[in-house]
Chains A and B, each alone.
Chain A
Amino acid sequence: MSLFFDIRRYSINDGPGIRITLFMKGCPLSCIWCHNPEGISLQKEKMYTRKKCIGCQTCVEYCPHQALKLTPNGILTDRKFCRLCDQCVAVCPTKAMEISGTEYSLDYLMREIEKETIFMDRSGGGVTFCGGEPLMHPDTLLELLHRCRTLGIHRTVDTTLFASPEVVSRVMEETDLFLVDLKLMDSGKHCYYCGVPNDRILSNLRMVAEAGKELLIRIPLIEGINADEENIRQSARFLFELPWKQKKVHLLPYHDIARNKHEKLGTRYNPEDIPMATPTEKTIEHCRFIFQTHEIEVIVGG
């Protein structure tokens, strides 16, 4: 069963026009800078927003497994006892307690998507599936993509392309635009920072490009990880050789915005304290220059 961890409307950074974006839960990668860490696990997860908690302890009272207690740092969930049963979420008056990951029927999702048709029609928008990694849910994804096609809705898949070539090619048939993250060209480093090697990603990317699919490349630009001359040159060379029409990359300067979500998940952001920083204007300009010398247009930001 596929879980979704968010549905966002008036999405204006995830493809053309005004879009509705569905966030699918679960990702084979585990990039240390991940913006949406609640999207990594395939399972439901408990999230707790300290700021919203008024300390009423209704959740403590209602928890059938005695997994909760009030501490000076707010409500603490003992994950040994918590069965993710939803009780605390149901009674929490402020929604400080939440479960990330909801199952929806396909009919429900289609209704939600169709509610936005007027905006899509007027703006040249559509639906975007992102995550996590939507390709981890090929059956759900394909069914939704197919149903959207029958309604004439533009479909974007925001993916790492870390999936079997079969899945990628099936999804390709039902997708109008791919947004693909290109993180690191060195497979060893990719493995170290993202948890998996990149060979599959690169070969799938080539396959998508060769099939003539619309493709936008997004590079999270992180000082200390991938903003170095060598990686950028390699990325530019790879993209230069890629047989794609758009020749356009988005550079997304790093931001440690994910700290916030780790706090809610009760996990630690960047536990090994790997140095990461927002690239300077100078670095960004230099990267832009490198891509431009490879005939690739650069857009900074989503």
Chain B
Amino acid sequence: MTTTTAQRAPHSASNFAPYVEANVYGMNDRIKRLRKETFEAEPSLSIERALIETAFYKENEGKYPIPILRALNFLEICKRKTIYIGRDELIVGERGPKPKSVPTFPELTCHSVEDLHVLNTRELQRYTISREDINRYEKEVIPYWKGRTQRERIFSHVPETWRNLYEVGLFTEFMEQRAPGHTALDGKIYHTGLLDLKERIAIELSNLDFMNDPEATDKQEELTAMSISCDAAILFAERHAELAEEMASKENNPDRKEELQIIAAICRRVPAHAPRTFWEAIQMYWFIHLGTITELNGWDAMNPGHFDQHLAPFYEREVAGGSLTRDEAKELLSCFWIKVNNHTAPPKVGITAKESGTYNDFTNINIGGVKLDGSNAVNEVSYIMLEVAEELHILQPGCSIHISASTPERFLRAGCKVIRQGHGYPSVFNPDIYIQELMRQGKTLHDAREGGCSGCIEVGAFGKEAYLLTGYLNVPKILEITLNNGFDPVSGKQVSIETGRAEEFKSYDGLYRAFLSQLRYIIDQKVRVSNYIDRMFAKYAPATFLSLFIDDCIARGKDYYNCGPRYNTTYIQCTGLGTVTDSLSSLKKHVFDDHTYTMGEMKEALAEDFKGLEAMRQYILNRTPFFGNDDEAADRIALSVYNDLYNTIEGKPNTKGGCFHLNMLSTTCHVYFGKMTGATPNGRLANTTISDGTSPSHGADTHGPSSVIKSLGKLDQVKSGGTLLNLRFLPALLKREEDVAKLASLICSYFALGGHHIQFNIVDTATLLAARQKPEDYRDLLVRMAGYSDYFNDMNADLQGDIIARTEQEAF
């Protein structure tokens, strides 16, 4: 199987399987057609944005202060880019000239001709681009940006010590080629139009104190830029209105003609003014979304936050008044879903392309949860959203259900039924814990309750916070270089400090202390460069449009990247807790406690990738306490690693008045890290994936899901800004209604133990076939029948074949 991608849908490594007609039961013809189109559209590259921007920069660079230059650049793009309104669409607007056409952002990273050829021809995550466009890019875009891109500036600065660690895969750096984003909106755009924001900006401008505030001039520039950004988005919407009017005048079908007229009226209304209807509210959000992902290419696109809560008042008012039906609301939401799916992630280059090769741009729709007063927020729109997610079954947006103690059981079960379909979503979050996490980081109760998850599993205060993910940390590799005294056996380079020869460690504690010294050194390197990159964005790439929507950027007169938000968090995402725990546990037991092997023998086995030592490897795999089995010996190690990651990262200051916090996300990076890491003492072979998030190592959890949950429950998850648990289930475990109820109880049990997030991969036939090939990674696959239970791996080939056939049949 493909390695599970944790909090993302399991299929997210590429696009979903070919279009299937089958699961379209709840959709009307329009949605069926739009869904088919979005499925079949091929991701392509559009050079339009780069051409507009390059021409603009050639003409204007140096003439304006940077924030104003950026805002005018955004205005220029909104003024000149191709406007697209598709057949049948109700929600309108595309970042590129057509669906799944992705612009480039040469001011950050300028793709080379070779990059473009590779993108055009590679097999996975291909982006088509014509030869003419490549030639034009080579002539008009590349020469201007050479030496001026953010990426080049960053790499020319980084110290050698950082580069050593980066290149061998000890960590990644999110911001080296895409802008920091990781944000979600609160509810302000549903009662505040951009013209209202302009008024507010005008007041702030008039209140600037040039006599006493040394930053007044900077603030004036930033606020002026914000105001220009409002104009840009209003203009962009008006161009849609014009096109819709023009299309309406030529339309023969009276129904569509009327729809186009309504679309035109809506685009004249929002985003300039606050929305009045359900339709306007969705279109309002969509214009803001498009603006932020056109201005820059922030990681994790954009997110509407608690969309069901924001839309509920519109829905309820209109349904009561008779101007909207449930079906119409569902159709509009489906159109929105399809819009998000049309927005493929911008293509990455270099190491980042290796660790995050996906079309998914990670807009995660939060459904359910709590209101600002802490009470249950589930409403009818929440249920409609679940239906839409289930029926459309498209790559984007992902969705998550938020289950607090006050959430009705009915909603949880409805979510579990979607989980049972095996699409990999919704993932399940626990607001009762993440509200505590946010408050521990210093948010007010009110702001914490507005919070949630924007993309993966990281949480932040929606509409009030910049919470930037800066990159993943390969924790198992830190152990690898600890065992080699700072030397990396994979690349053959000394990449880190010397902390002693492993053969000379007298005790497990000695080894662990060396591991911590390496950890501290590596984190320091990472933090140093992250802080540098922070300043680069603050100075050269302010996000003057995004800043409009995040409190208190306007009030402070400061940019989203430059201390404008009320809260400024920097996360480092630690990957491979399971692998490093199991490896330490193996060393403790077999080398230091039982003396089954010497450290020398162990190191030799790792260097040889266990070649000719299968008995030793199997002995380790089968006789080591592993994380995820409710086993005190292993769980204690996991707890100490987790706490030490926290102690090392937590509280280091960033450059924006906030600080660094721990995050336990892995996304797809555990696959890349696995390739960069040699064999590990837990019996894992070189090049194979390391464990994801806080999940146990693949196949290490042999005591079933309840034991996994008990082990995870021992971590004090409030200390993190997100943990991640991925559980694998055979569809047979979710066959009956009562099984769904039991799954719901399992989730509630985990949350009662303090779990932050859980997600389920419902195993398909392909996974079972893979399990036959590589049994050790799938030791957790349970087969359950009345009065009988066994592990898939323990069954003979015939019986496995039988189970595979049943899985095929029983797939939902």
> Which residues of chain A have a CB within 8 Å of any CB of chain B?
6, 8-14, 17-18, 21, 35-36, 49-52, 54, 56, 58, 93-95, 115-116, 118-119, 121-125, 130, 158, 218, 250, 252, 255, 257, 259-260, 263, 301-302
Residues of A within 8 A of B707 (CB): 9, 115
**Distance in angstroms between the alpha carbons of A260 and B619 in the assembled complex:** 24
Other-chain contact of A158, B739, B742, B787 (Cβ < 8 Å): B787
Instruction: Report the nearest A residue to B619, measured CB to CB.
Output: A93
A sample of 13 cross-chain residue pairs with beta-carbon separation below 8 angstroms, ordered by A number, consists of A6-B789, A12-B742, A18-B746, A94-B621, A95-B622, A122-B746, A158-B787, A252-B785, A255-B785, A257-B785, A260-B790, A260-B799, A302-B787
Other-chain contact of A10, B746, B775, B794, B795 (Cβ < 8 Å): B746
Asked if B786 contacts A250 (CB within 8 A), the reply is: yes
Asked if A301 contacts B795 (CB within 8 A), the reply is: no
Asked if B789 contacts A8 (CB within 8 A), the reply is: yes
The minimal Cβ–Cβ distance linking A256 to chain B, given in whole angstroms, is: 9
Given known A-B contacts A18-B745, A95-B622, A123-B746, A13 and B786 have beta carbons under 8 A apart: yes
**Distance in angstroms between the alpha carbons of A119 and B630 in the assembled complex:** 13
Any chain A CB within 8 A of the CB of B753?
A: yes
Instruction: Report the nearest B residue to A128, measured CB to CB.
Output: B787
Residues of B within 8 A of A123 (CB): 741-742, 745-746, 749
The minimal Cβ–Cβ distance linking A26 to chain B, given in whole angstroms, is: 16
Other-chain contact of A13, B621, B787, B794 (Cβ < 8 Å): B787
Asked if A116 contacts B786 (CB within 8 A), the reply is: no
The minimal Cβ–Cβ distance linking B185 to chain A, given in whole angstroms, is: 34
**Distance in angstroms between the alpha carbons of A118 and B745 in the assembled complex:** 10
Residues of B within 8 A of A56 (CB): 614-615
Any chain A CB within 8 A of the CB of B208?
A: no
Number of interface residues of B (CB under 8 A): 46
**Distance in angstroms between the alpha carbons of A54 and B787 in the assembled complex:** 31
Task: Classify the secondary structure of A's interface with B.
Answer: mixed
**Distance in angstroms between the alpha carbons of A51 and B775 in the assembled complex:** 10
Asked if B745 contacts A122 (CB within 8 A), the reply is: yes
Residues of A within 8 A of B752 (CB): 118, 122
Asked if B749 contacts A12 (CB within 8 A), the reply is: no
| Stretch from B298-306, B646-654, B698-706 contacting the other chain | B698-706
Residues of A within 8 A of B796 (CB): 50-51, 259-260, 263
Given A10-B782, A93-B619, A260-B799, 17 other A-B residues pairs in contact with their CB atoms under 8 A: A11-B784, A12-B742, A14-B787, A49-B794, A54-B618, A93-B614, A94-B621, A95-B622, A115-B707, A119-B709, A119-B745, A119-B749, A122-B752, A257-B785, A257-B788, A259-B799, A301-B786
Q: 8 Å CB contacts to A: which residues of B757-785?
A: 775, 782, 784-785
**Distance in angstroms between the alpha carbons of A125 and B709 in the assembled complex:** 16
Residues of A within 8 A of B733 (CB): 12
The 4 closest A-B CB pairs, nearest first, are A302-B786, A123-B745, A93-B618, A93-B619
Any chain A CB within 8 A of the CB of B616?
A: yes
Asked if A17 contacts B742 (CB within 8 A), the reply is: yes
> Which residues of chain B have a CB within 8 Å of any CB of chain A?
614-619, 621-623, 630, 703-707, 709-710, 733, 735-736, 738-739, 741-742, 745-746, 748-749, 752-753, 775, 782, 784-790, 793-799
The minimal Cβ–Cβ distance linking B231 to chain A, given in whole angstroms, is: 54
Residues of B within 8 A of A13 (CB): 784-787
Asked if A115 contacts B630 (CB within 8 A), the reply is: yes
The minimal Cβ–Cβ distance linking B769 to chain A, given in whole angstroms, is: 16
**Distance in angstroms between the alpha carbons of A35 and B788 in the assembled complex:** 7
Given known A-B contacts A58-B615, A118-B752, A12 and B787 have beta carbons under 8 A apart: no
The minimal Cβ–Cβ distance linking B768 to chain A, given in whole angstroms, is: 15
The minimal Cβ–Cβ distance linking B495 to chain A, given in whole angstroms, is: 33
Given known A-B contacts A17-B742, A51-B796, A260-B795, A118 and B787 have beta carbons under 8 A apart: no
Given known A-B contacts A9-B706, A119-B706, A301-B736, A94 and B795 have beta carbons under 8 A apart: no
Instruction: Report the nearest A residue to B776, measured CB to CB.
Output: A94
Asked if B705 contacts A118 (CB within 8 A), the reply is: no
Residues of A within 8 A of B738 (CB): 12
Residues of B within 8 A of A259 (CB): 796, 798-799
Residues of B within 8 A of A95 (CB): 622
Residues of B within 8 A of A12 (CB): 733, 738-739, 742, 784
Given known A-B contacts A8-B789, A260-B790, A263-B796, A118 and B784 have beta carbons under 8 A apart: no
Residues of A within 8 A of B704 (CB): 8-10
Asked if B736 contacts A94 (CB within 8 A), the reply is: no
Asked if B788 contacts A36 (CB within 8 A), the reply is: yes
Residues of A within 8 A of B710 (CB): 115, 118
The minimal Cβ–Cβ distance linking B643 to chain A, given in whole angstroms, is: 22
**Distance in angstroms between the alpha carbons of A9 and B742 in the assembled complex:** 13
Residues of B within 8 A of A10 (CB): 704-706, 746, 782
Instruction: Report the nearest A residue to B799, measured CB to CB.
Output: A260
Asked if B787 contacts A36 (CB within 8 A), the reply is: yes
**Distance in angstroms between the alpha carbons of A130 and B793 in the assembled complex:** 23
The minimal Cβ–Cβ distance linking B342 to chain A, given in whole angstroms, is: 40
